[in-house]
Amino acid sequence: MAAPTLTTPFDVAEADRLLTTTRSVRKRLDLDRPVDLQVILDCLEVAVHAPSAANSQLWRWLVVTSPDLKAKLAELFRSGGQDYLRSQLETPGDDAARRVYQSAAHLVDVLERVPVLVVPCVAAEVDLENAPALYGSVFPALWNFMLALRARGLGSTYTTFHLAHADEAARLLGIPAGITQVGLVPVAYTVGTDFRPAARRPAAELTYVDRWGVAPAETRGTS
Ligand SMILES: Cc1cc2nc3c(=O)[nH]c(=O)nc-3n(C[C@H](O)[C@H](O)[C@H](O)COP(=O)(O)O)c2cc1C
């Protein structure tokens, strides 16, 4: 007798490939290939299907394409990140961390040449009490956006360096009071699309079942 065919609503292998190979792309951003605004808008339409607290949908997106504005934003980004990156690169550390900082330093150098910079925002003032709900309502959409970009051959990185100068960025971009920037996402087509999954500690080492400290392997076959 033939084995029953297992059906799933998606091609799981392909979905997992998207989810595990959407990386922070910095050195492989194609700085010379233009990005049509429409592809960004398409990805944002995907992004806004993400969950948000009480379905508040308070995400807002500012898509920056003007060379002059990108250059000014890049200056703020550089000023916010350069000293931190320099100090990290001067501190002895493991190779993997060094590669991240070197890659981040490269992005600092080329940011203004990236075709599109997206500033995700939340339409609220963020304070200590509401931060989890407000930031937590934008990040799922932001990740959706990054996945949708990757599915179309574009790459991005979530960054925070320019937030040290968020007020100046708000003046530059006409962002009104009451709107909080949550980062800056450079977007470009990628040079090649063959990204590999990142090295990560296995989730099974960081996951417990029923009681803190009880590893999944210890509970197998008990239910
Ligand atoms: C909260 C947060 C802040 C980050 N800030 C920056 C940043 O300012 N600059 C940058 O180049 N990358 C930034 N990143 C990207 C991380 O460096 C990156 O996600 C991490 O090294 C893992 O690499 P991967 O995304 O390729 O797997 C940030 C990521 C997160 C989640």
Residue burial 161-177, b: 16+ Cβ < 10 Å; e: rest: bbbbbbebbbebbebee
> To test the ligand 1 pocket, which listed residue (29, 119, 142, 159) has its Cβ within 8 A of the most ligand atoms?
159
pLDDT tier at 213, thresholds 50, 70, 90: very high
Burial class (CB in 10 A: 0-12, 13-18, 19+), 77: buried
pLDDT reported for residue 91:
87
Distances from the Cα of 102 to the Cα of 26, 41, 59, 108, 188, angstroms: 10, 31, 31, 10, 19
Task: Report d(CA 58, CA 122) in Å as an integer.
Answer: 5
User: Does any domain span residue 12?
Assistant: no
In a domain, 80, yes or no: yes
Residue identifier of the C-alpha nearest atom 6 of ligand 1: 159
82's CB contacts (< 8 A; 6+ apart) are: 108
- The boundaries of the domain holding residue 147 are 23-192
Which two structure tokens, joined as six digits, stand for 210? 């029923």
Q: What is the pTM of this model?
A: 0.94
- pLDDT band (50, 70, 90) for residue 94: confident
Domain assignment of residue 2, yes or no? no
Quote the number of domains for the chain.
1
Side chain identity, residue 152: R
Q: pLDDT tens digits, residue range 106-117? A: 999 999 999 999
Instruction: Write out pLDDT tens, residues 9-19.
Output: 999 999 999 99
Ligand 1 centroid from CA 123, angstroms: 23
Q: Which helix (H) or strand (E) holds 137?
A: helix 131-151
What are the tens digits of pLDDT across the range 15-50?
999 999 999 999 999 999 999 999 999 999 999 999
Output the domain CATH number for residue 121: 3.40.109.10
